[in-house]
Chain A
């Protein structure tokens, strides 16, 4: 359910940008999410639309792109994807989601915790990079003239 807080963060930052730059209306907003965030696009879209109502973002086309996760070990050079990483996540450390009662890995909320929660599947080192597919960014906005 962190989709609502992420949508709030995106909407508030864009509205602040609009106030600063005198933007009266957005035509398109393109967001890139890291695969590690495991974003539920439908929930995010609903939240974005609801929070945009009555603002310069209302009616803007929302494009959501997911960036695949790629991990690379600095110790042995091994590279791996999110499916492989997912299998290694401990079930002892979690965040409890309300109201579903599901337990999610903290990585889903805070991808920068990767080095605490994962190790290289080949050599066991924590000295690895999450080369891509980590965070959220606003990759492009189109404003109405």
Chain B
């Protein structure tokens, strides 16, 4: 027979993902809604709760999780593969550590092959939670994710949206795809939901999008996060999670608590 039926890298990627108790992919379909921020914050909150947590940054064109977490350094390789970089108590793997500030244009099939190889070679050790920051788009990245997570016990997707009608429309397509492919959706997170001004709560992008999606797809809204200047300041501070405002941290903490209840580690 030919070897076309065997894809060693995708197979190994699935095997290595399955070593984590729980795999949670954070996805939106749309760019700029705050997936990487939510991924990094959730990882920090889980680590603060004493969980062994890793983050796989699949955003190969714009890897930002290392920047958010203030992680710098060089990846090491050993017999077991590539060791993730440890940032605080978080294990982090990102091509950002390998390409510096260089751009990475890619074409037909390359992205799928790159993320398969990255996931296949990363040696996480034992994790309770592996969070995957999924890049925008419903092309190769999502196709890879569907193949990697299909039938994987303890795996689910958290979908991020904003109240904007444009985000809602893109997220609806993503939710349809996930439903059609029978992927477990843990819930919806509404980011950039509101801000406070002079004691008033202002919703600049309107409201109701998360509820409409929640009703339509029968998935819960797990958190609403404000627009908050403390987020940018926290990223620059070098002590990201601790520097977030109380309001943001409380929302993230509530989100992590819901995820832990819905999808507890240690199966």
Chain A residues within CB distance 8 Å of chain B: 1-2, 4-6, 8-10, 12-14, 16-17, 30, 92-99, 104, 106, 109-113, 115-117, 126-127, 129, 134-141, 143
Of the listed stretches B79-87, B127-135, B188-196, B218-226, name the one at the interface; the rest are far from the partner chain: B79-87
Question: How far, in whole Å, are A142 and B78 apart by their CA atoms in the complex?
Answer: 31
* Residues B12 and A2 in contact, CB atoms below 8 Å apart: no
* Residues B8 and A138 in contact, CB atoms below 8 Å apart: yes
Say if the beta carbon of B95 comes within 8 Å of chain A.
yes
* Residues B113 and A116 in contact, CB atoms below 8 Å apart: no
* Residues A139 and B2 in contact, CB atoms below 8 Å apart: yes
What chain B residues lie within 8 Å of A141 (beta carbons)? 1, 3, 6
What chain A residues lie within 8 Å of B121 (beta carbons)? 2, 5, 109-110
What chain A residues lie within 8 Å of B80 (beta carbons)? 4-5
What chain A residues lie within 8 Å of B118 (beta carbons)? 110
What chain A residues lie within 8 Å of B143 (beta carbons)? none
* Residues A96 and B99 in contact, CB atoms below 8 Å apart: no
Interface size in chain B (residues, C-beta < 8 A)? 39
Per-residue CB proximity of B82-108 to A under 8 Å, as 1/0? 100000000000010011101111110
Q: How far in angstroms is the closest Cβ of chain A from B8?
A: 4
State which of A9, A115, A137, A140 has its C-beta within 8 Å of the C-beta of B11: A9
A135-B113, A138-B6 in contact; A4/B104 too (CB < 8 A)? Answer: no
Q: How far in angstroms is the closest Cβ of chain B from A140?
A: 6
Residue of B nearest to A130 (CB): B110
A110-B114, A112-B113, A127-B105 in contact; A95/B99 too (CB < 8 A)? Answer: no
Say if the beta carbon of B74 comes within 8 Å of chain A.
yes
* Residues B106 and A106 in contact, CB atoms below 8 Å apart: no
* Residues B9 and A136 in contact, CB atoms below 8 Å apart: yes
* Residues B3 and A5 in contact, CB atoms below 8 Å apart: no
What chain B residues lie within 8 Å of A92 (beta carbons)? 100
Q: How far in angstroms is the closest Cβ of chain A from B182?
A: 21
Residue of A nearest to B2 (CB): A140
A5-B121, A141-B3 in contact; A10/B8 too (CB < 8 A)? Answer: yes
* Residues A9 and B9 in contact, CB atoms below 8 Å apart: yes
* Residues B12 and A95 in contact, CB atoms below 8 Å apart: no
Question: How far, in whole Å, are A141 and B12 apart by their CA atoms in the complex?
Answer: 18
What chain B residues lie within 8 Å of A115 (beta carbons)? 104-106
State which of B1, B3, B77 has its C-beta within 8 Å of the C-beta of A2: B77
Question: How far, in whole Å, are A139 and B117 apart by their CA atoms in the complex?
Answer: 18
What chain B residues lie within 8 Å of A6 (beta carbons)? 8
Question: How far, in whole Å, are A116 and B106 apart by their CA atoms in the complex?
Answer: 9
Besides A113-B114, A116-B104, 18 other A-B contacts (C-beta < 8 A): A2-B81, A4-B79, A5-B12, A5-B80, A5-B121, A8-B12, A9-B12, A13-B11, A99-B78, A109-B117, A112-B117, A113-B98, A113-B99, A115-B104, A115-B105, A127-B105, A138-B6, A139-B3
* Residues A9 and B8 in contact, CB atoms below 8 Å apart: yes
State which of B100, B103, B111, B117 has its C-beta within 8 Å of the C-beta of A126: B103
**Which residues in chain B, 43-60, are within 8 Å of chain A measured between CB atoms?**
none
Q: How far in angstroms is the closest Cβ of chain A from B138?
A: 20
A sample of 25 inter-chain contacts (CB < 8 A) reads A1-B78, A6-B8, A8-B12, A13-B12, A92-B100, A95-B74, A96-B75, A96-B77, A97-B76, A97-B77, A97-B78, A98-B77, A99-B78, A106-B75, A106-B95, A106-B99, A109-B82, A110-B95, A110-B114, A113-B95, A116-B102, A126-B103, A140-B2, A140-B3, A141-B1
